[in-house]
Amino acid sequence: MAKESLLLPLLMENNQHLSEPERIRRQKLVELNQLGINAYPPELFEVNTTSVEIKQEYPKDIEANKWKEISIAGRIMSVRDMGKANFAVIQDDAGRIQVYVRRDDICTGDDKTLYDVVFKKLLDIGDIIGVKGYVFTTKTGETSIHAKSFTLLTKALHPLPIVKEKEGETFDAVTDPEFRYRQRYADLIVNPHVKETFLKRSQMIRSIRDFLNAHGALEVDTPVLQNIPGGAAAKPFITHHNALDVPFYLRIANELYLKRLIVGGFDWVYEFSRNFRNEGMDRTHNPEFTILEFYVAYKDYYWMMDFTEKMLEKVAIDLHGTTEVPMGENTLQFKAPFKRISIFDAILEYTGFDVSNMDEAELREVCKKLHIEVSPTIGKGKLIDEIFSEKCEGNFIQPTFIIDYPVEMSPLTKKHRSKEGLVERFELMVNGKEIANAYTELNDPIDQRARFEEQVKLMERGDDEAMFIDHDFLRALEYGMPPTAGIGIGIDRLCMLLTNQVSIQDVLFFPQMRPETIQNADTAEIENV
């Protein structure tokens, strides 16, 4: 009999806030300890196969030696008690498989404690075990594992949500968003399809990275903490750098740093960056998000459109084997080339108003007629953006480049080569939302300084999303930045499209949520966690 852990008395004394199932599991932990069984053993358990490998490969060659001595580990998801034998289903990283556990195989001698007490009474759904044995096919034709031994690897003290399955159908599936987003770990256990979304996300990023690397791009890192929150029109999160005793900002974009590298002589750089914007949350916005930005010297926005549609075509094929991607009731077609339309033509088409030559007062009048509420602090560019967002954006389901924006909307973009008052910019719209934003980059330091000063005027009017002046970036431009094309692609939104998800929270492992409150099981006490 093993010594009782010093933690066990404390474990049982401080359980008044626990539910009855949680208390029972802790009592079982005590009993396991008393039997000399470490519920969290430090020893290595060697795994030599997976559930998917067994199910896929065993039927093809059932006589192979590797099936005679397999070692696998996983979480117990269900158990069927048949007296002196049990069928259990375990779930590993790859999937699920059935395990046949017979009393006399597990306990070959007179002592049947390991089966009668440990396996049948002290193990629970959710516990993680290691199994050694051989593969066989049951009378019903199911590929299974005949266990010769098992090892408890982890005792689960919190019960899993119950998901009932029968004849291939799922009942009582865990669908509550509050639970799923807050306890993503449990969501991944009981909803295997959720894992597929994140595997697709990883595959999507790998496909993009491979495409960029194959074309000669260099992956780089830029600062998350910045003393100027530049590169986008957004409200930043503010923090404090204790060592320097100055305020810092979590980056809203990495654009200005990547452009500095173009100045420094790197002709093509990219970064998958984590950005932070202290703004609202909805189905397509999260304050913390992932964006891909890349910048290429000696290119323009026409080249960038061509490259972007080819890259996304390739990513769609890598994930789905086709350029046709299901999204809700629609089928998105990522076959290049994509449609192109100017922002003014789009507004004219969907509102009937030609806003191309309107001043701020006229634009406010249009907003009033269209029943669009706008802040008095925003200027001409934001007004045009509001009209497009409210009345046009949702109509572009198939991939479409919205091109040629007014200069007021784009303080970092080069003026159009042939169209007065416009800049060489595009946004990619898919399924009614912006997925990417790209420019022929402004590399004239004099013009850039004037654009920044216009942003300061907007800030003075109360626009908290206006850009700061980044004097070091202006100095970098004065050293000379070659003609450059740049783009930012929202990775989370792109993942939503390619995995048929309607909420950004479904493609983020851990979306932001309010602090949780937990109620004591026996009292009315509430605490934040």
User: Tokens 């060489």 belong to which residue?
Assistant: 424
Q: To 5 degrees, how large is the angle CA 475–CA 479–CA 484?
A: 100
CB 225 within 8 A of CB 442: no
Note whether 13 and 99 are same-domain residues.
Answer: yes
Report the relative pairing of strands 433-440 and 484-490 from DSSP bridges.
Answer: antiparallel
Residue 166 in domain: no
CATH code of the domain covering residue 13: 2.40.50.140
137 and 36 within one domain: yes
What pLDDT does 67 receive?
Answer: 96
State whether 198 and 63 are in the same domain: no
Reference 54, options 70, 39, 31; nearest CA is: 70
pLDDT of residue 149: 96
What is the domain count for the chain?
2
pLDDT at 287: 94
**CATH code for the domain of 435:** 3.30.930.10
Instruction: List the pLDDT tens digit at each of the 529 positions of the chain.
Output: 444 555 555 555 566 678 999 999 999 999 999 999 999 999 999 999 999 999 999 999 999 999 999 999 999 999 998 888 999 999 999 999 999 999 999 999 999 999 999 999 999 999 999 999 999 999 999 999 999 999 999 999 999 987 655 555 544 457 788 889 999 999 999 998 999 999 999 999 999 999 999 999 999 999 999 998 888 878 899 999 999 999 999 999 999 999 999 999 999 999 999 999 998 888 889 999 999 999 999 999 999 999 999 999 999 999 999 999 999 999 999 999 999 999 999 999 999 999 999 999 999 999 999 999 999 988 888 899 999 999 999 999 999 999 999 888 888 899 999 999 899 999 999 999 999 999 999 999 999 999 888 888 888 888 777 788 899 999 999 999 999 999 999 999 999 999 999 999 999 999 988 887 765 544 433 344 4
- Torsion over CA: 450, 456, 458, 463 (sign): positive
Q: Is the domain of 324 the same as that of 470?
A: yes
329 and 407 in a single domain? The answer is: yes
How far apart (Å, rounded) are the C-alpha atoms in residues 520 and 526?
A: 6
> Is residue 512 assigned to a domain?
no
The reply to whether 170 falls in a domain is no
pLDDT for residue 177: 84
pLDDT tens sequence across 128-153: 999 999 999 999 999 999 999 999 99
Q: What is the pLDDT of residue 408?
A: 84
Q: How many CB atoms lie within 10 A of CB 499?
A: 22
- Same domain, residue pair 33 and 143: yes
Residue 24 lies in a domain: yes
**What is the bridge-based pairing of β-strands 128-137 and 143-154?**
antiparallel
Residue 516 belongs to some domain of the structure: no
Let me know whether 286 and 155 are in one domain.
Answer: no
Same domain, yes or no: 411 and 286: yes
- Taking the alpha carbons at both ends of the chain, their separation in whole angstroms is 37
346 within some domain:
no
pLDDT at residue number 178:
86
In a shared domain, residues 313 and 448 = yes
- Domain membership of residue 353 (yes or no) is no
Q: Which residue has the tokens 């109360």?
A: 462
My answer on whether 211 and 120 are in the same domain is: no
Q: Look at the block and give the residue holding tokens 């009048």.
A: 365
Q: Please give the Cα distance from 465 to 385 (Å, whole number).
A: 13
Tell me if the bond preceding 337 is cis, omega within 30° of 0. yes
Residue range of the domain that includes 276 = 194-338+398-507
**Does residue 220 lie in a domain region?**
yes
Distances (CA, A) of 357 to 64, 90, 346, 438: 76, 66, 15, 23
The last residue of a domain, from among 117, 134, 160: 160
SS (H, E, C) 73-137: EEEEEEEEECCCEEEEEEECCCCEEEEEEEHHHHCCCCCCHHHHHHHHHHCCCCCEEEEEEEEEE
For 391-409, how does the pLDDT look when each residue is reduced to its tens digit (9 = 90+)? 999 999 999 999 999 888 8
Provide the token pair at 205.
């990023």
Statement to judge: residues 107 and 251 lie in one domain? no
Please tell me whether residues 242 and 290 are part of one structural domain.
Answer: yes
Which position has the token pair 């189905």? 283
